[in-house]
C-alpha cells in the first residue's frame, strides 16, 4: 500500500505532448534508415543467386523433360561467368 501513496501526477504541458510525437518520428526515421541500409547491403551476387534460384524453380514446373532440361541448363551459369559476359558486353558497346 505504501508504494501507491508515493505516486504523484505529472501536469500536462504542451512540451510533454510534443515530445512523444518527436520521439515517435525519430524512431520511425531510424527504422526506415536501417531498413534501407539492410536493402543496400544485398550484393549483386546475392541478387543473381536469388534470380537463379527463382529461374530453377520455374524450370521445375515445366512438364516436358526436354524443355525442363533446356531451361535448367540456363541456370547453371556461375556469377563469375555471368559477370565476365556482362563486362564483355559493356566493353563491346563502348564507342
Q: What confidence score (pLDDT) does residue 45 get?
A: 85
pLDDT band at 74 (very low <50, low <70, confident <90, very high): confident
pLDDT band at 29 (very low <50, low <70, confident <90, very high): confident
**pLDDT averaged over the chain?**
77
Question: Grid coordinates 563486362 are at which residue?
Answer: 87
Q: What percent of the chain has pLDDT over 70?
A: 62
Domain boundaries along the sequence of the chain: 44-95
Buried-exposed string 37-73: b where 16+ CB fall within 10 A, e elsewhere = eeeeeeeeeeeeeeebeeeeeebeeeeeeeeeeebee
Q: What confidence score (pLDDT) does residue 38 get?
A: 62
Please count the helices (runs of H) and the strands (runs of E) in the chain: 5, 0
- The three-point CA angle 34-35-36 to 5° equals 90
Average pLDDT over residues 45-66: 91
Q: Which candidate, 40, 39, 20, 38, places its Cα nearest to that of 28?
A: 20
Amino acid at each position: 500500500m505504501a508504494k501507491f501513496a508515493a505516486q504523484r501526477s505529472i501536469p500536462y504541458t504542451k512540451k510533454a505532448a510534443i515530445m512523444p510525437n518527436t520521439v515517435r518520428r525519430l524512431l520511425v526515421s531510424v527504422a526506415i534508415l536501417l531498413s534501407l541500409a539492410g536493402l543496400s547491403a544485398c550484393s549483386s551476387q546475392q541478387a543473381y543467386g536469388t534470380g537463379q534460384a527463382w529461374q530453377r524453380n520455374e524450370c521445375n514446373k515445366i512438364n516436358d523433360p526436354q524443355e525442363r532440361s533446356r531451361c535448367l541448363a540456363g541456370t547453371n551459369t556461375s556469377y563469375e561467368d555471368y559477370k565476365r559476359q556482362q563486362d564483355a558486353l559493356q566493353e563491346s558497346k563502348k564507342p
